Amino acid sequence: MNNLKRRDFLKLSAILTGTAAAGSLARMASAAPIAVPTVDKLTMQVLVDGAFDLFSRPQKVNGVVVEVVRSSDFARPFHAQWGLSLLLDSQRGGDARTILLDFGHTPEALMLNMELQKVDPRRINALVLSHGHNDHWGGLVGFLEKQRGLLPADLTLYAGGEDNFCKRYAGASPGPFSDRGVLDRREMAARRVKLVLAQTPTVIENQAFTTGQIKRSGIEKVLPNTMVEFAEKDGLGCNMSHFSPAELQGKIMPDEHVHEHATCFNLKDRGLVVISSCGHVGIVNSVRQAQEVSGVQKVHAIVGGFHLGPAPADYLNQVVAEVKKFQPDAVIPMHCSGQNFIQAVREQMPDKLVLATIGSRIIFGA
């Protein structure tokens, strides 16, 4: 149930490597090799996550500094929810850039937490969506509805592939299923947001880069999560134009997250910062892909959601052992990583663990 049949997987791979998204504002990312930029500094601010810790304190771990940003209004606390949104400020020489990575589950949480952390939307240069789950794109349309006028005229959303726009369900085959929503590309076009399907490695704002589609290797597997429907109707859903409606229309399958990608930075004198918002395809696979794309082997920090909360203990410990082999300076679990993952890191590499919640400002290369 957890794996696609070979024929289905090959079909999906062909779709994602061979078809362009519908609409004049969409284009495919270039397949040409990329020159990965080097940045002097990176600051990450946690806007949305599932937790806020009032008692969190500043930290410094192997060159990674964590500052604590409190709510600017004591009468209004941060809104914690299942989801993730990160503000990424990077600097290369005299050029500073800001990327908003993922958007949480609701626009209310995203915009409230931005306001309370005094984040000016006018700083944002580009948007990145890690994958097509609604706890990562749910806040996007509402955010654009309120803030589009403050954002760049040529605002671009970088998403990993066409199946970001497929409809998703909770449940297991043969059902019943509950609706997990669908990201509507028409909303992007209506708000003048250009769409780049970054299936191949892509440089963003001459400072960040994405991994492109992540290769599967080693021990990691997609743990049970959502089902996905490969269908499009009146512009809603994902464009399966390579195959007839009889083949794929209405077909609901286990989600293999072919479109998921990681967002990365190459930090001067430190190495890679790899941000895996959910890591359905494997955090080890994601880091290996970042190394291959960039040609940089040193890993400074592994950050984000690793989707190991539902992992059985033996599998979890294997994955953490593989993470340890990268010899990262810091491991910063968030969102769906799981308390079990945090405990395993404490046991296997306690000097690498950095904890962050809403309001954490994490400085790399300080």
- Residue-wise pLDDT for 222-269, tens only, equals 887 888 888 888 889 987 665 555 545 567 888 888 889 999 999 999
- Residue-wise pLDDT for 84-124, tens only, equals 999 999 999 999 999 999 999 999 999 999 999 999 999 99
The CA-CA-CA angle for residues 164, 165, 171, to 5°, reads: 80
Q: What pLDDT band is residue 82 in, cutting at 50, 70 and 90? A: very high
Residues 6+ apart with CB under 8 A from 190: none
DSSP state, residue 298 = -
Residue 224 pLDDT: 77
Q: What pLDDT band is residue 22 in, cutting at 50, 70 and 90? A: very low
Residue 241 pLDDT: 65
* Residue 48, strand partner residues: 85
Q: Could you give the CA distance from residue 158 to residue 116 in angstroms, rounded to a whole number?
A: 26
Is residue 101 packed enough to be buried (19+ CB in 10 Å), middle (13-18) or exposed (0-12)? buried
Q: Mean of the pLDDT values across residues 138-149?
A: 97
Ordered by where they begin, the domains of the chain are 6-364 (3.60.15.10)
N-terminal to C-terminal alpha carbon distance within the chain: 46
Q: What is the DSSP string of 142-186?
A: HHHHHHGGGS-TT-EEEES-GGGGSEEEES-TT---EE-----HH
Q: pTM of this prediction? A: 0.90
Q: Could you give the CA distance from residue 110 to residue 86 in angstroms, rounded to a whole number?
A: 10
The mean pLDDT of the chain is 88
Least confident of 239-253, 269-283, 302-316, 317-331: 239-253
Is residue 262 packed enough to be buried (19+ CB in 10 Å), middle (13-18) or exposed (0-12)? buried
Q: Could you give the CA distance from residue 301 to residue 353 in angstroms, rounded to a whole number?
A: 10
Q: Is the pLDDT of residue 334 over 80?
A: yes
Residue 3 pLDDT: 39
Q: Which residue has the higher pLDDT, 299 or 246?
A: 299
Task: For strands 38-39 and 263-267, give the pairing.
Answer: parallel
Q: Could you give the CA distance from residue 289 to residue 95 in angstroms, rounded to a whole number?
A: 27
Distances (CA, A) of 171 to 45, 133, 179, 338: 33, 14, 9, 20
